[in-house]
Amino acid sequence: GKQALFHFFFNFLVNKKIFKNMIQLNLTEKSNQTNHTVINGGGGIEDPVISALSIVDSIVRVISASIFVIYFILVAVLKEMRSKNLFYVHHANFVGFLFVLMYLFYFRTSMPSTGNVWLNDILCRVTESVWGILKYLRSYSVLWIAIYRLTAVKHMNAFRFINKTKLNLLAPILTLWVLAIVLYVSTKFVFGVSYGSPFCIDGFSNRLDMTIGYLTVSSFLAILFPFGSISVIYALIRAKLKQNEAKLSTKKPSQTKSRAHDSDSSLNQQQPQVRPMKRQELNKNKKFSYQLISLNICYIFSLTVSFIVSF
């Protein structure tokens, strides 16, 4: 649905920064070898392609943040979007919003430039930690949505328990945040990495083997493992939904005949309502499964691009 499309839109677009940086580096090298450059009004040299990409990048950041704001306004206004079934989807979108805001903090610069070296270092260390934690939160938030939907179709008692109280709903969210912090801190200190450039991104080390080791391990923990697990869970959900659909489509003549002669009128009145209710629930779960695989594909793409820009 809409959540998946939103994710695809801004996760794809905000990561355009990598392409701009790569093109800028390539064109800068070429400009040193050729004379095909344009002199701007200030007397400096600036390639028109880079100027255009910079403008597009700035517009995309603002649009991405605006869409998130509109989304959460709709959540606040529309009652149907505040259902418990969408709670974890909203959390995943909130984490995505934080990711977009990080790009807005570096709207005009790729590194802190307060004029105070000590303050710049502090800001970069904070930024490094936020990048590192969000990296895990984004993927494991979607993984939890997959687990949550799996309980809805296969383990109804567990699903009811999660939805029973607000504390039960919030407990997995708190667990996700703690897990993301633990994974980030542990990998950071094991490999002894710090922040790099641009955007004070996490994973820099003077030793190339430590950088590669950190990126390899963190990419496995933040990309391969969670999204591989999501794919398996999606397959389980699809198999269960097909099984339930087959059961609903199958009519047993003997049971139909016995119900026709049943003397209990209340049973006869309730029976026609059961199948439409189950069909409606089945359709709802199928819709959620489509959204789940859409989110999975979008996040795989987004985090893969993040891995490339980190490297």
Amino acid at position 3, single letter: Q
Radius of gyration in angstroms for the set of CA atoms belonging to the chain, rounded to a whole number: 25
Any idea what DSSP says for residue 203? E
Tokens of residue 206, six digits: 């003077």
**According to the model, what pLDDT value does residue 136 have?**
95
Q: C-alpha angle 115/100/217, rounded to 5°?
A: 90
pLDDT per position in the chain (311 positions), as tens?
444 444 444 444 444 443 344 334 333 433 343 333 333 333 444 577 777 877 887 888 899 899 999 999 999 999 989 988 899 999 999 999 998 898 888 888 889 888 899 999 999 999 999 999 999 999 999 999 999 989 988 898 999 999 999 999 999 999 999 999 999 999 999 999 999 888 899 999 999 999 999 999 998 999 889 988 988 998 888 888 888 777 777 755 444 444 444 444 444 454 455 456 566 666 666 677 677 777 777 777 777 776 776 66
Any idea what DSSP says for residue 45? B
Of 80, 248, 233, 82, the C-alpha closest to 152 is 233
- Cα 163 to Cα 131: distance, rounded to the nearest angstrom: 31
**According to the model, what pLDDT value does residue 4 have?**
47
- Model confidence, pTM: 0.71
Amino acid at position 296, single letter: N
**According to the model, what pLDDT value does residue 48 have?**
79
Q: What is the pLDDT of residues 82-99, one digit of tens each?
A: 988 899 999 999 999 998
- Cα 166 to Cα 216: distance, rounded to the nearest angstrom: 37
Amino acid at position 23, single letter: I
Number of helices and strands (H, E) in the chain? Answer: 11, 2
**According to the model, what pLDDT value does residue 46 have?**
55
Residue length of the chain: 311
